Each structure stands twice: as structure tokens, then as C-alpha cells.
Structure 1
Amino acid sequence: MDYEFLRDVTGQVVVKFSMGHEAIGHWINEELKGDLNILDQIEAAAAELKGSERQWQLAGHEYTLLLDSEEVMIRANQLEFESDEMEEGMNYYDEESLSFCGVEDFLAALQAYRNFMLNH
């Protein structure tokens, strides 16, 4: 999972993630928007979930984060389709709307984001 942090012309931090993990970048750009308090909540939830079977969810305006002790899922809220509307043999392109990654990799990316926010 590769990612990069940039500042746009307005000074806003923009995050881009590699193919297959684009939804993580979109989630950071749309839901976090530099709010380090949300990062604190996620890190605390990950620590509480470690070694358990429980899950934790953070629903946002555009994306929802679902966290368990091993994996993170970020899904666009609009990604709820009716399965009977699909034609046979067809599937939705959802690479930019759904991403999975391990908790440790996700927390490392969030720490890198925090460091970028504070130091650049």
C-alpha cells in the first residue's frame, strides 16, 4: 500500500493512495480533513479491539470506516446496491469506493498523515 501526501494551492493536505486502496485516500480527504481528534479516536478503538472479536464503526458523510482487530474496511456510503438490479455477468467498478487493509498498515498510514500535518 503506497501513498503520498501533498498540499494543494489552498494549503489543504491531499492524500493519494495506490490502486486498490484509493478509498482510504478518499476517506482521509473527505472525512478526516486534518481533524487529529478523529485519529486519536481510531487509535484508541484499535487498541481496545486488539485480540477481540468486536468491531468498531465510524460513519461519515461520504465514507464509513469499519475496524476489527485485524482488518480495516473503508466503504463509500453510496456503495449499497440492490443485487437483483444487476444484469448477469456484470459487476460494479468499486475500486475507488471500497478498500481493505491490515490494521497495522492503516495505523502506520495514519501516523504518517499526522506527522505530515504537524511538520509540513
Structure 2
Amino acid sequence: MEYEFLRDVTGLVKVRMSMGHEVVGHWFNEEVKDNPGLLDEVEQAMASVKGSERQWQSIGHEYTLWLDGEEVIIRANQLEISGDEMEEGMSYYDEESLSFCGVEDFLQVMNAYREFLQQR
């Protein structure tokens, strides 16, 4: 999972992610930009579910982050599709709306994001 942090002309941090993980960048750009404390909350949740069968989720304005001891899933809230709307045997996946990654990889991106925020 490759990523890049940029600042726009106003100084706002933008995250760009590699193909297949774009929604991770969108999550940072939409959910974390006005609430950097969310990163602490996610990190605490990671520690609380590690080595257990527990799960945790954070429902934001645009994206929901779900995690367990091994995996992080970020899904656009607009992806609320019930099984009745799908044809039998079909599954829905949109790279711009759903992403999966390992907890350690996600933690690495969170830490790099924090470091980037401290640079001015």
C-alpha cells in the first residue's frame, strides 16, 4: 500500500493512496481532516481488539471504518446496499468506495500522517 501526503495552497493536508486503497485516502481527507483525535480513537480500538474476536467501527459523515484484530475495512456510507437489491450470485465492489488492508499497514499510514501534520 503506497501513499503520499500533500498540502494544498491553503495548507490543508491531502492523502493519496495507491490503486485499490483510494478509499483509505478519502477517509483521511474527509473524516480525519477536521477530527485528528479520531486517529487516537482508532489506535486505542486497535489495541483493544488485538488478539480477540472483538470488532469495532467508527461511522463518520462519509465513510465507516471497521476493524478487528487483523483487518481494517473502510467503506463509503453510500454503499448501503441490501441483499435484496443484488442479483443472485453477484457481489458489489467499487475500488473508490471500499478498501481492505491489514491493521499494521493502516497503523503505519496513521503514524506517517501524524508525522506529516507536525511538519510545517
Asked if these proteins are the same fold (TM beyond 0.5), I'd say: yes
More off after superposition, 23-32 vs 89-98: 89-98
- Distance across 2 between alignment mates of 1:85 and 1:37: 36
Question: Is the counterpart of residue 44 in structure 1 residue 44 in structure 2?
Answer: yes
1:98 correspondence with 2:104 = no
What's the counterpart of residue 6 of structure 2? 6
Distance in 2 separating the partners of 1:2 and 1:104 = 14
Q: Distance between the aligned counterparts of 2:39 and 2:47, measured in 1?
A: 12
Superposed displacement of residue 119, structure 1: 1.4
Task: For structure 2, list consecutive stretches of 5 or more residues without a partner in the other structure.
Answer: none
Alpha-carbon shift at residue 80 of structure 1 (Å): 1.6
Partner AA of 2:60 in structure 1: G
Identify unmatched segments of 5+ residues in structure 1. none
Shift of residue 87, structure 1, vs aligned partner: 6.1
More off after superposition, 28-37 vs 80-89: 80-89
Answer yes or no: is 1:110 the counterpart of 2:107. no
CA distance in 2 between counterparts of 1:46 and 1:58 reads 12
Residue 34 of structure 1 contacts residue 117 of structure 1 at CA under 8 Å; is this kept in 2?
A: no
Work out whether 1:26 is the aligned partner of 2:26: yes
RMSD: 1.8
Distance change >3 Å, CA 51–CA 87, structure 1 → 2: closer
Instruction: Write out per-residue CA displacement over residues 2-47 of structure 1, whole angstroms, 9 at most, x where no aligned residue.
Output: 0000000111000000110001000000000053311111111111
For residue 74 of structure 1, what is the aligned residue in structure 2? Answer: 74
Number of equivalences: 120
